[in-house]
Structure 1
Amino acid sequence: MRATRRLVLGLAAAPFAARAQSDRYPDRPIRLVVPFAPGGPTDVMARVISSGLTAALGQPVVVENRGGGGGNIGAAHVARSAPDGYSLLVCSTGFVVNPSLFRNPGYDPVRDFAPVTELGASPNVILAGARSGIGSIAELIARAKTTAGGLDMANPGTGSTPHLTAELLRLRAGIEFVQITHASAALAVQAVLGGVTPVGVAALPAAQPHILSGALKALAITSAERWPDLPDVPTMQELGFGGFVSETFQALLAPAGTPAPVILRLARESLAALGDAGTAAKLRAAGFGIQARGPEALATRIAREVPMWRDLIRQAGIPQE
């Protein structure tokens, strides 16, 4: 009887304990887990946003890189973390792609996470190295058609939107690529810079400084309209590839079960940080378009994009790993 009474009293007190914990949030440092190596677009976004969150929340918000498995290792780690708001995931589009690309990614994008905010998005850019002799999409297609076995194409990871952008170009243009996969966008860009591969696809933030310096040639961009900082780079749609639009988004998520007041606090402060003029300018200069939308919009995006990318993966014939 005494044990039963203690159990009943404990259950009755649980909601009040959770509310008290939420009221004190945060009272220690917060981790932003990036499931990729340093230097890529998701890492850049996390480090920019962490400064604003640190100032707003009054606790250090530190970035922790847990790369590997195409982003699965870091995402699964956060999915298994305590749902208390102190371990968060800053993800890219791979978060919604990987459940279709891997037999067991280690997480479910809907069941295991609570959406917090969309942060930003950037188009992908098709690149050529200075020594490649390729100066346009037409020249890339012509080179691919005359290259036995397919043209080497660098990408920042299997299932990333740059990888899938290359697959879409392959299907639409009727050409072949040898996909050379790297552990991050920064490494994929370096491969094209160094002439290891003649061409590549990357999200814009990793490539923009090298395009502006003239070290890389941007053949086309996958946004719906030309990018403001690269007005001379045509879109794929302009080049005759109707509907050829793809982007890499970044988002903030918490483990499922995180208290609603904590989610709302994180969403509010994240949106405020993105609205800061200095932060916005820094992200724009890095190649990001800000998409400051809260939990409902992010949940809608996840629900839309999981089946969208699954269909493309099946059409491209990419086997599950």
Structure 2
Amino acid sequence: MTRFMGGSAPTRRNVIRAAATLAAGVALPAIHIRSAFAAYPDRPVKIVVANTPGGPSDLVGRMIAAALEQSTGKTFIIENRGGAGGNIGMGYVAHADPDGYTMLLATNALSVNVGLYNKLPFEPRKDFVAVSEVAGAPNIFVVRKESPAKSMKEFVALARAHPEQYNVSVPPIGTTPQLQASLLKSREKLPKLEEVVFKGGGDALQGLLTGTVQLASNSLGPSAPHIKAGTLRGLAICAETRWPEFPDIPTMREAGYPDFVFATDMVLMAPAQTPSDMVKWLEQQTLQVLKEPAMQEKFLKAGFLVRPKGGADAWARVTKEMDTFKDIIEGAGIKKL
């Protein structure tokens, strides 16, 4: 016969009461966790842009942050951390607390830098989780309206005839506009066409507007307002087809440069190990605002094409481009940094 220490045998009521207490003790933490997530985010979510203000990623970041604020009623802020070809900002997010309150608006620089730098302050394939594709913009070559060059071939002829008078402004090394400028120099044998590197796309355009340079290799987004205003002239767009807002600007293929397609694409990412529930919530909210026709029209007018794709598709593109850009860098003879 089994003996019970400390008193008489338990009654049926005591057993049921003990079981209920145990169940409550197990269930309470789960309820607490769900309640905590339901409040997420309960403080500002920081979207880090690894470039200076005025460039394509900064413009897109501010548009998506404003849209998310309006849609969710939560607070989203932009923090610019430019420098070192985007590595400073990307490294900052890679090592940030994975608590759902720090995100990265990554550009193609994340993929490019894998093949461009000997050492990175982060592990590109391990330190991030993709949230959502956001938008992309084809790149473009632009000159001031006073420039005698009316086409890419005319600019190349001028730069070849007067190499000391012509140079090109580019965003940081490793950006797709910088890569396409290097490829143009390589294909057209223009070693004296100096690349003047600026901290961001906005700064690179200012260099052209102030006459510091004669050509800018940039993203369409920040270039579009100046083209519409007539202060800049687009020589060729680095896309498969002409851009709807600028039907008179030829593609690089039409200008005589086959397979010359470059874009500045942006994707939202978070540090690896960010709770999957938070990543999923951010993905859902981002896709929701990106699928709004009014939002897509707003992006188009600003020179960007919305890409409402989830994190899995975004990560597939980013990792594939790591190999693609590595081949481009090696093929153009660009030295690693």
When the two structures are superposed, what TM-score results if normalisation uses the length of structure 1?
0.91
Three-state SS of the structure 1 residue aligned to 2:308 is: strand
The answer to whether structure 1 residue 139 and structure 2 residue 154 are counterparts is yes
Larger radius of gyration: 2
Partner of 1:309: 325
CA distance in 1, matches of 2:55, 2:227: 16
1:174 Cα deviation after fit: 3.0
Counterpart residue type for residue 280 of structure 1: Q
Note closer, same or farther for the CA distance 1:95–1:18 as it changes in structure 2 (3 Å cut): farther
Please identify, of 80-89 and 148-157, the stretch whose mean Cα deviation from structure 2 is larger: 148-157
CA distance in 1, matches of 2:41, 2:335: 43
Counterpart residue type for residue 292 of structure 1: P
Partner of 1:6: none
1:150 Cα deviation after fit: 8.4
1:19 Cα deviation after fit: 5.9
CA distance in 2, matches of 1:109, 1:276: 31
Partner of 2:201: 185
1:149 Cα deviation after fit: 6.2
- CA-to-partner distance for each residue in 1:25-80, whole Å, 9 max, x for gaps? 22221101111111111011111111221233332111111111111111111111
Counterpart residue type for residue 51 of structure 2: F
The answer to whether structure 1 residue 36 and structure 2 residue 67 are counterparts is no
Please identify, of 290-299 and 275-284, the stretch whose mean Cα deviation from structure 2 is larger: 275-284
Counterpart residue type for residue 252 of structure 1: L
The answer to whether structure 1 residue 103 and structure 2 residue 118 are counterparts is yes
Residue number among 86, 100, 118 corresponding to 1:85 in the alignment: 100
CA distance in 1, matches of 2:316, 2:36: 29
Q: Which runs of 5+ in 2 are unaligned?
A: 1-25
Note closer, same or farther for the CA distance 1:141–1:18 as it changes in structure 2 (3 Å cut): farther
The answer to whether structure 1 residue 156 and structure 2 residue 171 are counterparts is yes
- CA-to-partner distance for each residue in 1:300-319, whole Å, 9 max, x for gaps? 10111011111111222222
Partner of 2:180: 165
Partner of 2:240: 224
Note closer, same or farther for the CA distance 1:134–1:246 as it changes in structure 2 (3 Å cut): same
Partner of 2:221: 205
Task: Give the number of equivalent residue pairs.
Answer: 309
Q: 1:1-150 counterparts in 2 under 5 A?
A: 16=30, 21-148=36-163
Please identify, of 148-157 and 83-92, the stretch whose mean Cα deviation from structure 2 is larger: 148-157
CA distance in 1, matches of 2:182, 2:213: 16
Residue pair 2:108, 2:318 contacting (<8 A) in 1 also: no
Residue number among 239, 247, 257 corresponding to 1:241 in the alignment: 257
Residue number among 284, 289, 310 corresponding to 2:300 in the alignment: 284
CA distance in 1, matches of 2:82, 2:251: 31
Three-state SS of the structure 2 residue aligned to 1:123 is: strand
1:233 Cα deviation after fit: 0.2
The Cα RMSD (Å) is 1.9
Please identify, of 149-158 and 257-266, the stretch whose mean Cα deviation from structure 2 is larger: 149-158
Please identify, of 303-312 and 270-279, the stretch whose mean Cα deviation from structure 2 is larger: 270-279
CA distance in 1, matches of 2:228, 2:163: 32
Residue pair 1:119, 1:292 contacting (<8 A) in 2 also: yes
Residue pair 1:132, 1:195 contacting (<8 A) in 2 also: no
Partner of 1:5: none
1:285 Cα deviation after fit: 1.2
When the two structures are superposed, what TM-score results if normalisation uses the length of structure 2?
0.87
CA distance in 2, matches of 1:303, 1:95: 9
Residue pair 1:26, 1:57 contacting (<8 A) in 2 also: no
CA distance in 2, matches of 1:18, 1:142: 66
Residue pair 2:141, 2:215 contacting (<8 A) in 1 also: yes
CA distance in 2, matches of 1:127, 1:280: 25
Counterpart residue type for residue 265 of structure 1: W
Please identify, of 39-48 and 55-64, the stretch whose mean Cα deviation from structure 2 is larger: 55-64
1:104 Cα deviation after fit: 2.3
Three-state SS of the structure 1 residue aligned to 2:282 is: helix
CA distance in 2, matches of 1:158, 1:307: 18
Residue pair 1:53, 1:61 contacting (<8 A) in 2 also: yes
Counterpart residue type for residue 216 of structure 2: G
